[in-house]
A and B are shown apart, each in its own frame.
Chain A
Amino acid sequence: MAGHVPMQHAKTTVKLNHSSLKEPKVVQWLLTFIALAFLALFLVLPLITIFMTAFQKGLETYLAAITNPDALAAIKLTLIVVLITVPLNAVFGVVAAWLITKFDFKGKNILITLIDLPFAVSPVIAGLVFILLFGAQGLFGEWLFNQDIKIVFAIPGIILATLFVTLPFVAKELIPLMQAQGSAEEEASLTLGASGFKTFFLVTLPNIKWGLLYGIILCNARAIGEFGAVSVVSGHIRGMTNTMPLHIEILYNEYQFAAAFAVASLMSVLAIFTLTLKNIIEWKAKHI
């Protein structure tokens, strides 16, 4: 379960009424102040910085930065990566969760650990492993060269690295959910004459839809924002193998701060949107 925090269920706020059950008012104020100050310092301030620096050279510079051809190419590439990796890992998550929660078999724990691994591994290593497999000196390097197929320093490599890093999200969300729901409804469906597929689509899927959506949103956020792994495999070829985070890095290293933050602001808006969706889903799932 490393690196994964599942959807929060059943939020019941603790109600303590008697004064001897609460801290002195002073302590309450102090704790609240500390908490809010910490959050302001670590979360709010950086967000403000992003937007202020993005616009520090004016609206025109901002718009120029995000409509710049390299920037647009980066946005397009990020979108392509997301559109391929998220559905794939969503399907994997659903199938793996079905396998793990409905059946018993030898090696189940090994599989669960395997799914956990990408969370525990540094992103740089995630990129490195694909270089070792498909790079020029890699295991398949020569074969790929002869077939004139490019994986590392090209889009396929970026997709593979992103697939690795985002693999666990949907699975880790669905497994505890499906475990808690049990298999009685599926068994009932079978006795009523439904096939396996019908059972899955008519009974299981509607029951897990919020957990699935939640996992997809987390997976999506990570796929968009992945930096370390993609940095290793991409080759940083401007206009071709730069995702948005890599593009930001290039701009920043060239001291084009306003432009870098302009693109960063786009990603921040996406992040805030992700957070909003996440909260909506948690709320909806609670009120079913």
Chain B
Amino acid sequence: MSVLQRQKKKKSILPGFGLSLGFTMFYASILVLFPLAMIFLNTASMGWSDFIKTVTDARVVASYKLSFGAAFAAGIINVIFGTIIAWVLVRYHFPGKRFIDGLVDLPFALPTAVAGIALTTLYVPKGWIGQLFTFKIAFTPIGIIIALTFIGLPFVVRMVQPVLQNFNAEIEEASASLGASRMQTFKKVIFPELVPAILTGFSLSFARALGEYGSVVFIAGNMPMKTEITPLIIMTKLEQYDYAGATAIASVMLVVSFFLLLLINIIQWWTNRKFVHS
């Protein structure tokens, strides 16, 4: 019996590695990897000049500007109000707080189409809110921003809430005991701790808003060059059987999505490094 043996590297002690690896890779490949790869494969077969022509067409570029701009604006609104909402929910007490807290997740639970028609009905010129204003809200970029704000609302709130909840009150007390005013304490002590969560919430809201379709397509009006978001252009091209065009624009959106995903992961990695509390 050989006592000095070179061991063959077995993967692990806990069982199920082979099975779970096989299943997971298979499932993720046929549902995610392979289909997404199709976008790039198809675009590659399109030819560079055709590709550039499609993705830089004036109408398409107008949609980029609209999608980006509206998503950004909605993100900012959500940052401001989301932080306030998180603060109020964590720090203050009022009747029905638990109910309101639960309600914040509504945009996650409600189908986008339902949200879309509800918001449209509210903001059309004859709608409850629409009639209060002299200018049009629905069928303008403002309407789009409102829909995207709805969609992204929970992200900032849910990212900031845990940070506030786990916040060490002693730090605030220390700041106050050293003579800082409430505003100073907030600016210098509390807010910096919230920044990573706010950034993450913003990025999540922004990424979601960029690709959003269902809640926007009803309120937007969908007029080319004015109120047409990029996902809609893809949809339109599909309906016209212009698969190549749809794919080209989709690949641009995908690259942006990947980039955003990377950004979000970097922010979270940076957060964990900087703010790991024991």
In the assembled complex, A132 has its CB within 8 A of some CB on chain B = yes
**Contact status of A275 and B35, CB under 8 A, knowing A95-B23, A120-B261:** no
State the 6 A-B residue pairs at the shortest beta-carbon distance, nearest first.
A122-B211, A225-B111, A196-B15, A227-B214, A228-B213, A129-B35
In the assembled complex, B1 has its CB within 8 A of some CB on chain A = no
Report 15 cross-chain contacts, Cβ distance below 8 Å, ordered by A residue.
Answer: A14-B164, A31-B84, A38-B81, A45-B122, A50-B114, A99-B20, A102-B17, A103-B21, A117-B36, A122-B211, A123-B213, A123-B231, A164-B32, A167-B28, A225-B113
**Contact status of A8 and B117, CB under 8 A, knowing A35-B85, A123-B214, A187-B13:** no
Minimum distance in angstroms from B175 CB to a CB of chain A: 9
Contact surface of B with A, Cβ cutoff 8 Å: 11-17, 20-21, 23-25, 27-28, 31-36, 38-39, 42, 81, 84-85, 87-92, 94, 98, 100, 102-115, 117-119, 121-122, 128-129, 149-150, 153-155, 158-159, 161-162, 164-167, 169, 172-173, 176, 182, 203-204, 207-208, 210-214, 218, 230-232, 234-235, 238, 241, 243, 246-247, 250, 253-254, 257-258, 260-261, 264-265, 268
Task: Check A232–B235 contact: CB distance below 8 A.
Answer: yes
Q: What are the residues of chain A within 8 A of B268 when measuring CB–CB?
A: 1
Q: What are the residues of chain A within 8 A of B114 when measuring CB–CB?
A: 50, 225, 245, 248, 264, 267-268, 271
In the assembled complex, A173 has its CB within 8 A of some CB on chain B = no
In the complex, A242 Cα to B203 Cα: how many Å? 33
Task: Check A163–B31 contact: CB distance below 8 A.
Answer: yes
Q: What are the residues of chain A within 8 A of B238 when measuring CB–CB?
A: 128, 131, 232
Task: Check A122–B257 contact: CB distance below 8 A.
Answer: yes
Q: What are the residues of chain B within 8 A of A278 when measuring CB–CB?
A: 102, 105, 109
Task: Check B210–A122 contact: CB distance below 8 A.
Answer: yes
Task: Check A18–B176 contact: CB distance below 8 A.
Answer: yes
In the complex, A105 Cα to B22 Cα: how many Å? 13
**Contact status of A32 and B36, CB under 8 A, knowing A46-B115, A117-B261:** no
In the complex, A113 Cα to B260 Cα: how many Å? 12
**Contact status of A124 and B112, CB under 8 A, knowing A10-B165, A160-B31, A275-B105:** no
In the complex, A135 Cα to B17 Cα: how many Å? 36
In the assembled complex, A146 has its CB within 8 A of some CB on chain B = no
In the complex, A96 Cα to B278 Cα: how many Å? 28
In the complex, A8 Cα to B160 Cα: how many Å? 11
In the assembled complex, A231 has its CB within 8 A of some CB on chain B = yes
Which among B27, B88, B111 is the interface contact of A227 at CB below 8 angstroms? Answer: B111
Contact surface of A with B, Cβ cutoff 8 Å: 1-3, 5, 8, 10-16, 18, 20-24, 28, 31-32, 34-36, 38-39, 41-47, 49-50, 53, 92, 95-96, 98-99, 102-105, 111, 113-125, 128-133, 135, 137, 139, 160, 163-164, 167, 183, 186-187, 190, 195-196, 199-200, 218, 221, 224-228, 231-232, 244-246, 248-249, 252, 257, 260-261, 264, 267-268, 271-272, 274-276, 278-279
Task: Check A132–B173 contact: CB distance below 8 A.
Answer: no
Task: Check B261–A2 contact: CB distance below 8 A.
Answer: yes
Task: Check B103–A5 contact: CB distance below 8 A.
Answer: no
In the complex, A118 Cα to B36 Cα: how many Å? 10
Q: What are the residues of chain B within 8 A of A8 when measuring CB–CB?
A: 158, 161-162
Minimum distance in angstroms from B140 CB to a CB of chain A: 18
In the complex, A143 Cα to B275 Cα: how many Å? 54
Q: What are the residues of chain A within 8 A of B87 when measuring CB–CB?
A: 31, 35
Task: Check A133–B35 contact: CB distance below 8 A.
Answer: yes
Q: What are the residues of chain B within 8 A of A160 when measuring CB–CB?
A: 31
Minimum distance in angstroms from B218 CB to a CB of chain A: 7
Minimum distance in angstroms from B114 CB to a CB of chain A: 4
Task: Check B102–A275 contact: CB distance below 8 A.
Answer: yes
Q: What are the residues of chain A within 8 A of B264 when measuring CB–CB?
A: 1-2
Task: Check A43–B243 contact: CB distance below 8 A.
Answer: no
In the complex, A1 Cα to B85 Cα: how many Å? 23
Q: What are the residues of chain B within 8 A of A131 when measuring CB–CB?
A: 238, 243
Q: What are the residues of chain A within 8 A of B231 when measuring CB–CB?
A: 122-125, 228
